Amino acid sequence: DFPTWPHVDDPPATGSKRREQQKLMNTFDRYLIRRFAHVYFVAFLTTFGLFVVIDAFTNIDGFQERNAGEGYLMLFARMGHYYSYQASPFFDMAGPILIVISAMVVFAMLQKNSEVHPILSAGIPTYRLAVPLLIAAFFVDILLVINQEAVIPAIADRLQTPRGMDQSTAQRVKPVYDYATGIAIYGEELYLEHQTVRHASFALPVPEIVQDLTTLRAREAVYVRGGSDRPSGWLLKGVTRPLHTVPLTDLGRRIVLATDKPDEVFIISDVDGHQLHRSNMSYRFLSTAELLRRIQSPSLGLTSLRGLALHFHERLTKPLMNLLAVLITLPLVIRKGSSSLVANLAGCTLVLGGIFVFAQASLYLGRVSLISVDLAAWLPLIFSGGLCTWTSGLVQT
């Protein structure tokens, strides 16, 4: 009942032979997808477990200092709670690498077990083997996008909380300059969960906002997200100086607004609480929509805008880079004229490592303004596409 494999000189498969080939490949496709999923799942659990062990032993003092003698059971509970949230950014970081590793392992097992020869004998091209792995890689790309767009932004406050601390724990404030209004924002304590700054200070610039140098100090400042009918900004509560005594300019009266309560002031600003805490890294926890909103905001400086734009283009190219990596892996692992699988894997690892180094170097050049941010992000994709075409002639046929 098994299909007979055509000889080299046989005419192209037609009719029933094509149906037999299609049936064979449908079964083999499911087999390859299951193997890819198994390798990917095991690799993720292994690498994440290794990350947890190394990070936990390295930072165990941070957990113990905040455990306050509550016992080992509470200590392990805090560690489990912390690392359960860290699985999401770890998946975002390691997911693309594990796609390449899983594809390499699957192709290597096919070559090792001589499972490629029956497929070639059936008149099926080698690159047909890449189709199920491309489907599996595309599915992982979808999971990575969902993780980046929905999961990470929802738990961003917890991800930025130091080890062993609760979400409501106060964190240090990094002073930020609002380039749209010229207002400098700083304070003593920041609570990311509620977007609240305790003992906040807002330095108003002269002569744009005020006529004399003025700093508004408040017991706390809460960031209020705006909508279609109102702007975003900071609601200052417990202001030490009444607003009517502040010498505001005409522009200042449109930015610094009075409220119904005499000890409260509302200041329009697009700088939120996340930018007051590790502002150079906070964009990694943003959704793409929020990323675009910040890129279009005039409140950020050129350096921050360049970093945001570079990260935005990097997000666009990452799924395509993952798919191209699978296509590059196939001819380097299943290579014609080579009898050493170890040498094939070593060469594939070297080539993929070179692509990674090239991509990081390109991003660095874009970050330091030596090349444009769009070129810095898309140049590795262009290079990978060219390499994919060049290596296609090396595949076993």
Strands (E), the chain: 176-177, 184-186, 189-191, 196-204, 214-224, 233-237, 256-258, 264-268
* pLDDT (0 to 100) of residue 2: 40
Q: What is the pLDDT along the chain (397 residues), one digit of tens a residue?
A: 444 444 444 455 556 656 655 665 677 888 899 999 999 999 999 999 999 999 888 888 777 776 666 777 877 888 888 889 999 999 999 999 999 999 999 999 988 888 888 878 877 888 888 889 999 999 999 999 999 999 998 888 788 776 656 555 667 888 888 888 889 998 888 887 788 899 999 999 988 899 888 899 999 999 998 877 788 899 999 998 888 888 999 999 999 999 888 889 999 998 888 788 765 566 788 889 888 888 888 877 777 888 889 999 999 999 999 999 999 999 999 888 777 889 999 999 999 999 999 999 999 999 888 999 999 999 999 999 999 999 888 888 7
* pLDDT (0 to 100) of residue 6: 45
* pLDDT (0 to 100) of residue 24: 54
* pLDDT (0 to 100) of residue 274: 79
Cβ neighbours of residue 248 under 8 Å, at least 6 residues apart? 209, 210, 211, 256
What totals of helices (H) and strands (E) does the chain contain, helices first? Answer: 12, 8
* pLDDT (0 to 100) of residue 8: 43
* pLDDT (0 to 100) of residue 226: 82
Buried/exposed code over 190-225 (b: 16+ C-beta within 10 A; e: otherwise): bbbeebbbeebbbbbbeeebbeeebebbbebbbbee
Tokens of 227: 């909508």
* Angstrom distances, CA of residue 73 to CA of 64, 70, 79, 95, 256: 12, 8, 10, 32, 50
Cβ neighbours of residue 267 under 8 Å, at least 6 residues apart? 181, 183, 202, 216, 233, 234, 236, 255, 256, 257
The total number of residues written for the chain in this structure: 397
CA distance 40 to 132: 14
Would you tell me how many other CB atoms lie within 10 Å of the CB of residue 64?
Answer: 14
* Angstrom distances, CA of residue 76 to CA of 66, 83, 163: 12, 10, 12
Instruction: Report the candidate in 168, 149, 110, 122 with the shortest Cα–Cα distance to residue 17.
Output: 122
Q: Is 303 exposed, middle or buried (0-12, 13-18, 19+ CB in 10 A)?
A: exposed
CA distance 337 to 351: 18
Rg (CA), the chain: 28
* pLDDT (0 to 100) of residue 213: 86
CA distance 201 to 74: 37
Residue found by looking up tokens 């060219």 in the block: 386
Would you tell me how many other CB atoms lie within 10 Å of the CB of residue 172?
Answer: 12
Tokens of 372: 């444009």
* pLDDT (0 to 100) of residue 142: 96
* pLDDT (0 to 100) of residue 104: 94
* pLDDT (0 to 100) of residue 97: 94
Residue found by looking up tokens 């499972």 in the block: 115
Instruction: Report the candidate in 254, 157, 163 with the shortest Cα–Cα distance to residue 196.
Output: 157
* pLDDT (0 to 100) of residue 98: 95
CA distance 300 to 309: 12
